[in-house]
Every structure is written in structure tokens, then in C-alpha cells.
Amino acid sequence: MPTNLITNGTFDTDVSGWNRGIHGLITWEAGRARVSKSSLIYPDGAYASFPTVAGRTYRATLDLSPVSGGAQVRVGNGTTPDAGILTAGPFTAAAAVDVTFTAVGPASYLYIRLPDSATSVTLIDDVRVIWTAEPEPGPDPDPVPVLAGHAGRLEITGRAGRTTAATSAPRIPLES
């Protein structure tokens, strides 16, 4: 399974690894994160940062359940959580959010943004961000080295198809 770049996306015991915005609040609620606001005036919420590589494509998934007021899911470009590469929503009902984006720098943010209403509350869980091209674990696709020889010449073909030749190899009699 590809590596989840989000720290603590399942909120099993707390909301560590997540940050609140200036007017946002994030608390733990029965195995989920509860995102709310402390101000009526400004939109805000909570976010997590994660490492990315510019030009690579990533996939973000999460379960989002607005309790009141709705929410957006934003991917920030590494400068600030709200300077976005992508915005999904607003969501006003429970949703399994699934978005892809291309990173523009060495870090990005996943930002749960609530609207201006001070009564906005959203629950989130099962947050994942993965690099979409990360290979699944499996057998090594490189070939196993092969030995071949003839008339005083030994060739070894190894990984990545490189061939090494030894021209002064001694003759070794083979028994059949």
C-alpha cells in the first residue's frame, strides 16, 4: 500500500500532526477530528502539512461530515495553507472526498476550510495523501545477472542491461 504522507489521518486518539488556523479550532471527537471556528467574521479551519516534490501528482482522500455550515477541502501550495492549488466543495452533506493535484514545491497543505459562519462545524476522518506513481511492493522487475562465455571471453549482463566483458578470462573446462 502506498505511503500516507499525512501524519495522523485516522485520529485514533488525538489530533496531533494537525494545526488550527488563526480563527480555526481542531479537537478530537470519538476517533475523528472536529474542525470549527472561533470567529464569525473570517473563514478558517484546520490543516496538515506534508512533503511533496514539484511536478509529481498526488491523490488526497478523506471522509468529511459537515455538522453545520459546510466546508471546503483545499490543497495549499507550500507557502500558506490557504494559497491553493486546488479547492473542492463547498460540501454541505457527508462526502468521501477524492481529489488529485500536482505539487508545485517541497511541501503542501491539506486544509479544511469553513465559511464565515461561527457555527460551522465539520468532522473529518481517514485522511490520506499519496503519491500516485509510487510503486506497489512486489518482485524486483530488474533481470537477474546472466553469465555467458565463449573462446576466452566472458560476458556478464546485469541489472539495467549493462554488459561487462573480461577478455583475459582463463578457460574453465565444463563437464557435461
Q: What's the one-letter identity of residue 130?
A: I
Q: What CATH number corresponds to the domain at position 33?
A: 2.60.120.260
pTM equals 0.72
Q: Phi, psi at residue 115, to the nearest 5°?
A: -75, -170
**Residues 62 and 101 both lie in one domain:** yes
pLDDT of residue 148: 47
Q: Strand pairing partners for 3? A: none
Hey, what's the cell of 140? Answer: 524486483
Answer with the residue of higher pLDDT: 138 or 43. 43
Q: Are 44 and 102 in contact (CB under 8 A)?
A: no
Q: What's the pLDDT band for 136 if we cut at 50, 70, 90? A: low
Residue 49 and residue 72 share a domain: yes
Task: Say whether both 125 and 145 belong to one domain.
Answer: no
> Which of 118-122, 151-155, 168-172 shows the highest mean pLDDT?
118-122
- Report how far residue 83's alpha carbon sits from residue 121's, in angstroms, rounded to the nearest whole number: 22
The grid cell for 12 is 485514533
CB 129 within 8 A of CB 17: no
Domain total in the chain: 2
- Number of other CB atoms surrounding residue 120 within 10 Å: 23
Residues 23, 86, single domain; the answer is: yes
Q: Let me know if residue 1 belongs to a domain.
A: no
Across residues 99-106, what is the average pLDDT?
A: 92
Region of 127 (left: φ > 0; alpha: ψ -120 to 50; beta: rest) is beta
Q: Are residues 87 and 23 both part of a single domain?
A: yes
Give me the pLDDT at residue 171, please: 54
Q: Is the pLDDT of residue 79 over 50?
A: yes
| Residue 24, domain member (yes or no) | yes
Structural domain including 125 reads: 19-131
Given this model, what pLDDT does residue 142 score? Answer: 53
Check residue 28 and give its pLDDT: 97
Strands (E), 69-145: 71-76, 84-91, 95-102, 107-114, 121-131
103 and 148 in a single domain? The answer is no
Query: With pLDDT > 90 as the criterion, what percentage of the chain qualifies?
Result: 53
Domain-embedded: residue 13: no
Is there a single domain that holds both residue 66 and residue 37? yes
Q: Are residues 36 and 103 in the same domain?
A: yes
Let me know whether 146 and 77 are in one domain: no
